[in-house]
A and B are shown apart, each in its own frame.
Chain A
Amino acid sequence: MSAASAAVAGRSAGAGARKPRRRGAGWLGFTPFAAYTLVFMAVPTVLAVWGGVTAEDGSFTLANFSAFGDRSILKAFENSIVLSLAVAVASAILGAILCVMLLAAKPNGILRVVVDAASSVLAQFGGVMLAFAFIATMGSSGMFTLWLQSTFHVDLNSLAPDKTAGPLLYQPAGMFFPYLYFSIPLMIIAFMPAVEGLRPQWGEAVATLGGGRFSYWRHVGAPVLAPSFFGAMILIFASAFSSFATAAALTNSGILIPVVMQQDLSSETASGVTNIPGVLAIGMIVIMAIVMWAYSVLQRRAARWQR
């Protein structure tokens, strides 16, 4: 390769490769990307964890872990985990049913395009706007609440498990519904490729062997889809567990762990100290690490049946 062309290659890759004659100079093209992700992904994660294991004066300590003995923090962790689990299981089942139903639609038809787009919007565009929609639906004077009242004389908020914690929607039990609203689309996005990967030949094989629809699902569909199904379920757990915006827009009492983190921050940022949020971040990272490890194991099993 000529010196000039190598230099251009280096420049077009975003970095000035100074010594084009050297064979390894092209590697320098990765510098901007590496530097960016290092400074804005690795460093913040390390700093968050670091804040958890240092005292206010900056010395190393494990004392912050006493936060996990705090009853309200434990309760918030419990709420977060239970809510995410319930959301993951429910949306995995409902989403999987919808995925199978979508097989009836033409693969490149308008319905699939609309469902794909709507799923993407709803899956990543939740947050504040989703909270608004659910306040208008099942808040104290929401459309659904009023309809239940006028038609069945049932007060939605009287169904809340914790009567002292205000309206249903501002408790984890009520947040279940907005969380479902962004998790089912996520399930469709994550699970649809697996469902589409079911080969027609397998169905034909079952039919040739005299099997009906039930034996198809029992012996072919379910075993093949199982790893993708549980993998997608784990993904939903992870997304619900780390979701902040929806909960924060609904309530500012610290009932879920991400909201607790922000509250602790706003009482601490003045001094620039992030000890308690840091130690909670460690807790979240540990849970997410376990979850993502399980996800990768399942993905490896799922990969056998695809392609």
Chain B
Amino acid sequence: MSRRGSARVGAAPGRATATVVLVIAGLAFLYPLYALAAFAFQPVGQHSGFTLQHLKALTDPVRAYQYDQLWEGIQNSLVIALVTVLLMLVFLLPAMILAELRYRRVRQAIEFVCLLPISIPTVVLAVGFIPVYQVMWQATGSVAWILAFAIGIISLPYAFRPIQSNMAGVDMVTLQEAARSLGAGWFQTVWSVILPNLRRGILSSALLTVSVVLGEYTIASFLQQNTFQTGLALLEHADPYVASTFALAALLFVFIILVLIGAAGTIRRNRKVSTWSPSTATLPPVR
């Protein structure tokens, strides 16, 4: 594999050119975030300056009603995130392990299904979810956490990829045969041999799922539920400053999560399958 950068006679650009272009691109991408940050801490009605008064307003009991919806949305989103991760562990992971160990031809079918949500526009799914949820809500009442079933579908590609890459890097069939020949039953094989080897993929998958849930707006908005993103969109009218602060915080939070997955993936990367990276792992196969 072409891992040694210095050996690239053909494609690699000169250091100076690369530095200049990347720095310009970096600044261009940081500018809107900087504008957002500057706005979040601007005094009301001014176009410059720095104040913390908007953060103080958050704890002001008189204005608390303004933020109620946002707090509720954040709570809902966290619960939905938790349930979505559980759904992935219960529905997706066992199917993937079973396909990898016993029905290897099914792997392609699972991959196809998991990547399908990329080609179905979320708005189309959302239109279809409306009648589905009308039925479900008759049974449960209008609770938000059930959205996890819908959001689970759009996070399938992101949940699937890291686990798949992890499986590709571990010879699961041999591991299984080894465990079985040492006398382990199926349950013991999966629990104490297979799952520990998939820990990294499962963790990345869960974190990416959480980031999809926290960024999800379309389905919540079509189904008229209150989540973090719909709460933000509403707060934008009442208090754009605080809304901006929360937007920044969320972006930063997810960025840090992904840097951590990326760093972990790089350090403990299996040499043989060195193309594994959680972020390239989040999209349709490029091969």
What is the bound-complex CA distance between A191 and B250, given in angstroms? 27
What is the bound-complex CA distance between A269 and B127, given in angstroms? 10
A197: which B residues are within 8 A, CB to CB? Answer: 2
B119: which A residues are within 8 A, CB to CB? Answer: 238, 288-289, 291-292
Q: Which of A264-288 contact B (CB under 8 A)?
A: 265, 269, 272, 274, 277-278, 281, 284-285, 288
Asked if B32 and A202 make an inter-chain contact with CB atoms under 8 angstroms apart, the answer reads no
Asked if B120 and A125 make an inter-chain contact with CB atoms under 8 angstroms apart, the answer reads no
**B178 touches A (CB below 8 Å):** no
Asked if A274 and B187 make an inter-chain contact with CB atoms under 8 angstroms apart, the answer reads no
**B22 touches A (CB below 8 Å):** yes
Binding stretch for chain A, among B50-58, B59-67, B91-99: B91-99
Query: What does the 1/0 interface line of B157-196 toward A look like (CB < 8 Å)?
Result: 0100000000000000000000000000111001100000
**A73 touches B (CB below 8 Å):** no
Asked if A108 and B13 make an inter-chain contact with CB atoms under 8 angstroms apart, the answer reads no
**B215 touches A (CB below 8 Å):** yes
Asked if A248 and B221 make an inter-chain contact with CB atoms under 8 angstroms apart, the answer reads yes
If A37-B153, A284-B124 touch, does A101 touch B287 (CB 8 Å cutoff)?
Answer: no
CB A141 to nearest CB in B, in angstroms, measures: 6
What is the bound-complex CA distance between A184 and B283, given in angstroms? 14
The count of residues in chain A whose C-beta lies closer than 8 Å to any C-beta of chain B is 125
Shortest Cβ distance from A14 into B: residue: B94
What is the bound-complex CA distance between A289 and B5, given in angstroms? 39
**A235 touches B (CB below 8 Å):** yes
If A98-B22, A200-B4 touch, does A47 touch B131 (CB 8 Å cutoff)?
Answer: yes
CB A40 to nearest CB in B, in angstroms, measures: 5
**A244 touches B (CB below 8 Å):** yes
If A36-B87, A181-B29 touch, does A281 touch B123 (CB 8 Å cutoff)?
Answer: yes
Total contacts A to B, CB within 8 angstroms? 353
CB A300 to nearest CB in B, in angstroms, measures: 10
A181: which B residues are within 8 A, CB to CB? Answer: 29, 32
Q: Residues of A at under 8 Å CB distance from B?
A: 4-6, 8-9, 11-15, 26-27, 29-30, 32-34, 36-37, 39-41, 43-48, 51, 94, 97-98, 100-108, 111, 113-114, 116-122, 124-129, 132-137, 141-144, 146, 181, 184, 186, 189-200, 202-204, 206-207, 213, 216, 220-221, 228, 231-232, 235, 238, 241-242, 244-245, 248-249, 258, 261-262, 265, 269, 272, 274, 277-278, 281, 284-285, 288-289, 291-292, 295, 299, 302-303, 306-307
Closest 10 pairs (CB-CB, A-B)? A203-B10, A44-B128, A242-B121, A203-B9, A104-B18, A117-B258, A9-B186, A33-B95, A48-B128, A14-B94
Q: List 16 A-B contacts (CB under 8 A).
A: A36-B152, A37-B156, A40-B150, A104-B14, A113-B262, A117-B279, A129-B251, A132-B244, A134-B32, A137-B36, A207-B10, A232-B286, A235-B284, A242-B123, A284-B121, A284-B123
